[in-house]
Amino acid sequence: MQAAEQHGVLLAPGGRFSGGGGLQASLRLPCTVDPELAVEAVGRIAAVDAQVRAGAAAGRKGTQRSPLIA
């Protein structure tokens, strides 16, 4: 979520929207936004996800810092 914010996307953790504290590893995307905005947001989220995963893989090799999202 921190990395996404740096790309102009504000996200809420899925756990905030579950009754029993589930969905901790999920994101909640509103379905009420303009479809073009949703496409842009999903594209940005995908780019951030790739960036974070690449950083996590590199961090495991000891060549870069830890991932932004833990």
pLDDT in tens, 10-41: 888 777 877 777 777 777 777 788 888 888 88
Q: Which amino acid is at 12?
A: A
User: Bigger pLDDT: 21 or 65?
Assistant: 21
Please answer whether residues 48 and 7 qualify as being in contact, where contact means their C-beta atoms are separated by less than 8 angstroms: yes
CA proximity to 5, closest of 45, 42, 35: 45
Distance, CA of 59 to CA of 42 (rounded, Å): 25
54 pLDDT higher than 50 = yes
Please answer whether residues 7 and 18 qualify as being in contact, where contact means their C-beta atoms are separated by less than 8 angstroms: no
- Computed over every residue of the chain, the mean pLDDT equals 77
Stated pTM of the model: 0.64
Alpha-helical (H) ranges within the chain are: 2-6, 35-61
